[in-house]
Structure 1
Amino acid sequence: CKREGCTLVDYVAAHESADIFDYLAEVWAQMQQTIKNGLENEGVLPGTLKLARKASSYNIKAMQSAGSSRPMGMLFAAALATSEENAGGGRVTTAPTCGASGVVPAVMYFLKHDQGMTDHRLIRGLATAGLIGNVVKSNGSISGAEVGCQGELGTACAMAAGAATQVLGGTPLQIEYAAEMGFEHNLGLTCDPVCGYVQIPCIERNAFVAQKARECAIYALFSDGRHMVTFDDVVKTMMETGRDMQAKYRETSLGGLASVCLKRMKCNFNDNM
């Protein structure tokens, strides 16, 4: 892009079929529908954890808030909405996976409803998000079973941060910086779902990572885009970290929070008996 003087979106357009943006428009429509469904649905998610949905109440509280609490609450609610739809068997967009599907839609949704960005800009942002995700998928891994949650939510954070930076007028260098930070600051993140459900800690993680992606975009936009560690460096480091990670921290529900919470649940169950 630097050599040709083009944007990352130009690069995507040059290497994809002519209907890529029509496809991304469908993706964006589904992301918005999933969030809408998640914000309206209430009740308890399926499974033994009996976890209550929170997106609806978070959204109501966000709309009634002022100052910095309002945008943060909006972002949390949108991420929770998608993640809860995923946990409840609803239709979601893998971005890059189902378990990390709440981050990119939440950030794009926030940019539309809080920042007033147009669908056209957001769809072009999704082109860059997909490009970033494919760099990880092609040169690393997006599988929690292979490299832990750093490969899922770390990639989602990078995708959302890069896309947001572009939508907000960032340069390719600033976009790469935002994506690098989004990935870098999720290195080592384990995949330890309680009881094997993509609910605890997964749903909350999507909300916090969405906020982190927004912060990475803002941070990069304050800079001139120059930085020491490249996105490619972080992809390589993520793979090295994933290979060093014990299997029980890679989507087996045998280590980390999963093991602690399982022991506690078992004790509570026995006490109740």
Structure 2
Amino acid sequence: CQVEIGAAGAMGAGAVVEAAGGSARQAADAGAIMFQNAMGLVCDLVQAIVEIPCHTRNGSFASQAFICADMILGGYYNAVHIDDTVDAVYSSGKMLPLELRCTSLGGMAVTPSALSMQRKR
């Protein structure tokens, strides 16, 4: 999730800045802080299906894209640039344990309620 949803949110934040007439630097900064918000987010899809908690995370990150764009357009200074942020996201993703990297072996996927759900496949 940190990469998939983080990257989508970052692109969304940059697009909002561009649509609002901001500069390319502001778009990159909005994308950077959006991606920083996704740092450490695990991939723990329930039943190995991209639905729970993926849909709600995507929805909440879409709204965060607007918030990050507004922050940058409002004068917030981002100290960690997008290139460094992407490197940090990649590095932290490699540090996540196997159970939290799209395997459905940890996190939300192994909660009692998730395990008791009727199989969707």
Question: For residue 45 of structure 2, what is the aligned residue in structure 1?
Answer: 193
Q: Is residue 21 of structure 2 the alignment partner of residue 166 of structure 1? A: no
Question: For residue 33 of structure 2, what is the aligned residue in structure 1?
Answer: 181
Question: For residue 152 of structure 1, what is the aligned residue in structure 2?
Answer: 4
- The Cα shift of 1:173 comes to 1.8
For the residues of structure 1 that align with 2:20 and 2:65, how far apart are their CA atoms?
13
For the residues of structure 2 that align with 1:181 and 1:196, how far apart are their CA atoms?
29
2:13 corresponds to which letter in structure 1? A
Query: Which digits, 9 at most, give the CA deviation of each residue in 1:170-190, with x for residues without a partner?
Result: 112211110001100110111
For the residues of structure 2 that align with 1:152 and 1:256, how far apart are their CA atoms?
17
Query: Which digits, 9 at most, give the CA deviation of each residue in 1:35-67, with x for residues without a partner?
Result: xxxxxxxxxxxxxxxxxxxxxxxxxxxxxxxxx
Aligned residues: 117
Greater relative CO (CA pairs within 8 A, separation 6+): 2
- The Cα shift of 1:193 comes to 0.7
Which of 79, 84, 98 is matched with 1:233 structurally? 84
Whether the 8 Å contact between 2:33 and 2:78 is mirrored in structure 1 is no
Whether the 8 Å contact between 2:35 and 2:85 is mirrored in structure 1 is yes
In structure 2, runs of 5+ residues without a counterpart are none
- The Cα shift of 1:262 comes to 3.4
For the residues of structure 2 that align with 1:254 and 1:247, how far apart are their CA atoms?
8
For the residues of structure 2 that align with 1:172 and 1:150, how far apart are their CA atoms?
23
State which structure, 1 or 2, has the greater radius of gyration over its C-alpha atoms: 1
After the TM superposition, which segments of 4 or more aligned residues of structure 1 sit over 2 Å from their partners?
A: none
Question: For residue 254 of structure 1, what is the aligned residue in structure 2?
Answer: 105
Q: CA RMSD in A?
A: 1.5
